């Protein structure tokens, strides 16, 4: 399980080490880890370190000191080390002295023949876009195609939210110290490498599932299970106008579980033609017993759709609401705020704005948490980085890595997957996070294996790769 820590938590954990260790020890420890990561990057790209040219772009403060110390260590390994000082009067003096003593050179700009640039401009202490001088330097670096290793985070990215509002560093690799921060999941930091500097960190409530976590949680039938004990998922989705939503949502549930799926709605024929294993009925009341309900995709917002939403939310079963269900719910929040059973809402940004009264804005974690707490439900905010917040509980971050899941109908598939996990008894937040993880993996697999005559990916192809994604775990 990845744990993401606030900057304040990292600073608090550093304090006793800074007080007990000789001055500069913790910085050199971090810089040695940074240099080791850079050596690995240089070796992978160029075959070695000796004779390579490295340039640190140095701001004021500790990140600049880290970059200078790392450059000093690289210089001692035979690299040509240079540094651009953006604020010479406020450069870390001890690190600069060591850098020059090792043979490092202070230069005015990054040479086009540089093999790698170290971003030591601002890191976690910064906010807002790159200042003009730094922006000019990194625009030239980008134009020359020089890879960048960032210290803590790429400069110009907001450390609290991961948002960018102007020029920012584009890093191939980000090296951070002590613990991951939410920005490492929320923003484009390239590959992220964590260096242990000996911090004693408590547990945190901002988490990220890894493959081993999903594998440990995903329901697997035991020797005494049958189709009922594994969880029966009920699907209230689709209509004569939007039968595809029902097919995709039901398909997500079928692929995610070994139990049973029941469908009720106006796309009965289309669902059965795609998924003959599904038990189908024309109305929710005739569907039979289930352990969870998925309601909303393609349902419409007229009386039939509203009746299906009311039916599901009046039960004492876990319910996931998506798409048209969210539009209906925005006008009737009391339907979920008074529920005791687990409820999951899965809005994209525009649906979120209808529910919350305002878009999520740059602080997606804070906004998702606020809505979850206010409504007493689990909220999954869709995006390239999915944010899942439980009311009064943890937040899960799931970076997709790519945008292959950003395709029509993809959210319908995800809803069916979450519903299947809820039916199997998984807690709401974990169900949403695990489904998002596998859904993103299935989308990436679909893009990597499009098949003849197919588009790179589609919601239908995502359904077809869910089982492959699960098998890869």
pLDDT score recorded for residue 409: 87
pLDDT score recorded for residue 123: 77
β-partners of residue 174 are 150, 192
Task: Please report, in range form, the residues annotated as the binding site for AMP.
Answer: 382-386, 411
Minimum mean pLDDT range among 105-109, 159-163, 377-381, 462-466: 159-163
Asked if pLDDT for residue 120 goes beyond 90, the answer is yes
User: How do 385-389 and 395-399 pair as beta strands?
Assistant: antiparallel
Q: Report angle CA 423, 434, 248 to the nearest 5 degrees.
A: 65
Task: Please report, in range form, the residues annotated as the binding site for (6S)-NADPHX.
Answer: 62-66, 123-129, 152, 245, 298, 348, 412
Asked if pLDDT for residue 450 goes beyond 60, the answer is no
User: Distance (Å, rounded) from C-alpha 379 to C-alpha 291?
Assistant: 20
- Where are the chain's structural domains? 2-204, 211-472
Asked if pLDDT for residue 125 goes beyond 90, the answer is no
pLDDT score recorded for residue 457: 79
Asked if pLDDT for residue 121 goes beyond 70, the answer is yes
Minimum mean pLDDT range among 48-62, 91-105, 209-223, 452-466: 452-466
Locate 246 and state its tokens. 């029902």
Angle between helices 243-256 and 428-448 (to 10 degrees): 100
Helix (H, G, I), strand (E, B) or coil at 31: helix
Task: Please report, in range form, the residues annotated as the binding site.
Answer: 62-66, 119, 123-129, 152, 155, 245, 298, 348, 382-386, 411-412
- Counting residues of the chain whose pLDDT is more than 70, the rounded percentage is 99
β-partners of residue 280 are 263
Alpha carbon 56 to chain centroid, angstroms: 29
Q: What mean pLDDT comes out for the span 254-282?
A: 94
Q: What is the pLDDT of residues 285-323, one digit of tens each?
A: 999 999 999 999 999 999 999 999 999 999 999 999 999
Could you tell me the CATH superfamily of domain 2-204? YjeF N-terminal domain (3.40.50.10260)
Alpha helices in 121-198 (DSSP H): 132-144, 183-186
Mention every residue, 6+ apart, whose C-beta is less than 8 A from residue 88. none
Of 365, 38, 61, 381, which is closest to residue 183 (Cα–Cα)? Answer: 365
User: Distance (Å, rounded) from C-alpha 355 to C-alpha 37?
Assistant: 44
pLDDT score recorded for residue 452: 56
Per-residue pLDDT band at 115 (split at 50, 70, 90): very high
Locate 185 and state its tokens. 């999941």
Locate 278 and state its tokens. 């599904």
Q: What is the pLDDT of residues 381-404, one digit of tens each?
A: 999 899 999 999 999 999 987 777
Is 211-472 the same fold as 2-204? no
Mention every residue, 6+ apart, whose C-beta is less than 8 A from residue 44. none
Per-residue pLDDT band at 198 (split at 50, 70, 90): very high
Task: Please report, in range form, the residues annotated as the binding site for K(+).
Answer: 63, 119, 155
pLDDT score recorded for residue 153: 94
- Element counts in the chain: helices (H) and strands (E): 17, 18
Burial class of residue 272, CB neighbours in 10 A (0-12, 13-18, 19+): middle
DSSP 209-263: --HHHHHHHS----TT--TTTT-EEEEE---SS-HHHHHHHHHHHHHH-SSEEEE
Is CATH 3.40.50.150 what the domain over 211-472 is classified as, yes or no?
no
Q: What mean pLDDT comes out for the span 3-9?
A: 93
Q: What mean pLDDT comes out for the span 138-167?
A: 95
What region does 87 belong to: left with phi over 0, alpha with psi -120 to 50, or beta?
A: beta
Burial class of residue 47, CB neighbours in 10 A (0-12, 13-18, 19+): exposed
Alpha helices in 261-361 (DSSP H): 268-274, 303-313, 324-330, 334-337, 349-356
Q: What is the pLDDT of residues 215-263, one digit of tens each?
A: 999 999 989 988 888 999 999 999 989 999 999 999 999 999 878 999 9
User: Distance (Å, rounded) from C-alpha 80 to C-alpha 362?
Assistant: 40
Mention every residue, 6+ apart, whose C-beta is less than 8 A from residue 189. 150, 153, 154, 157, 171, 174, 183
DSSP state of 361: -
Q: What mean pLDDT comes out for the span 276-292?
A: 94
pLDDT score recorded for residue 314: 96
Q: What mean pLDDT value characterizes the chain?
A: 94
Locate 253 and state its tokens. 């549930």
User: Distance (Å, rounded) from C-alpha 268 to C-alpha 285?
Assistant: 14
CB 396, CB 208: distance < 8 Å? yes
pLDDT score recorded for residue 255: 96
pLDDT score recorded for residue 407: 81
């Amino acid at each position: 399980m990845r744990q993401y820590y606030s900057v304040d938590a990292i600073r608090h954990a550093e304090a006793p080490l800074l007080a007990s260790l000789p001055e500069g020890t913790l910085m050199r420890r971090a810089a040695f880890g940074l240099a080791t990561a850079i050596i690995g990057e240089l070796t992978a790209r160029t075959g070695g370190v000796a004779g390579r040219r490295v340039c640190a772009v140095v701001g004021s403060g500790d990140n600049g000191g880290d970059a200078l110390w790392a450059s000093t260590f690289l210089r001692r390994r035979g690299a040509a080390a240079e540094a651009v000082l953006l604020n010479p009067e406020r450069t870390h003096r001890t690190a600069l002295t060591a850098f020059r003593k090792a043979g490092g050179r202070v230069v005015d700009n990054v040479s086009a023949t540089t093999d790698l640039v170290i971003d030591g401009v601002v890191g976690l202490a910064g906010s807002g876009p790159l200042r003009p001088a730094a922006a000019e330097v990194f625009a030239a670096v980008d134009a020359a195609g020089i890879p960048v290793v960032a210290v803590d985070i790429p400069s110009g990215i907001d450390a609290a939210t991961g948002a960018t509002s102007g020029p920012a560093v584009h890093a191939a690799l980000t090296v951070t110290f002590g613990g991951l921060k939410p920005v490492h999941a929320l923003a484009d930091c390239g590959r992220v490498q964590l260096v242990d500097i000996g911090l004693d960190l408590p547990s945190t409530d901002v988490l990220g599932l890894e493959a081993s976590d999903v594998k440990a949680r995903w329901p697997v039938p035991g020797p005494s299970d049958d189709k009922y004990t594994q969880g029966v998922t009920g699907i209230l989705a689709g209509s004569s106008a939007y039968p595809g939503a029902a097919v995709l949502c039901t398909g997500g549930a079928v692929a995610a579980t070994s139990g049973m799926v029941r469908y009720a709605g106006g796309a009965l024929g289309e669902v059965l033609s795609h998924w003959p294993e599904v038990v189908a009925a024309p109305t929710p009341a005739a569907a039979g017993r289930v352990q969870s309900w998925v309601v909303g995709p393609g349902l419409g917002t007229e009386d039939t759709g509203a009746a299906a939403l009311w039916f599901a939310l009046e039960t004492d079963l876990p319910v996931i609401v998506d798409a048209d269900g969210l539009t209906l719910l925005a006008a009737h929040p009391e339907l979920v705020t008074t529920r005791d059973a687990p409820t999951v809402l899965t809005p994209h940004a525009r649906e979120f704005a209808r529910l919350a009264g305002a878009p999520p804005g740059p602080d997606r974690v804070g906004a998702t948490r606020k809505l979850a707490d206010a409504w007493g439900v689990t909220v999954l905010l869709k995006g390239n980085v999915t944010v899942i917040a439980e009311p009064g509980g943890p937040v899960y971050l799931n970076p997709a890595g790519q945008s292959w899941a950003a395709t029509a109908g993809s959210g319908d598939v995800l809803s069916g997957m979450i519903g299947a996990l809820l039916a199997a008894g998984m807690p709401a937040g974990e169900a949403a996070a695990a489904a998002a993880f596998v859904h993103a993996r299935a989308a990436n697999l679909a893009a990597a294996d499009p098949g003849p005559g197919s588009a790179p990916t589609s919601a239908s192809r995502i359904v077809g790769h869910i089982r492959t994604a699960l098998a890869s775990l």
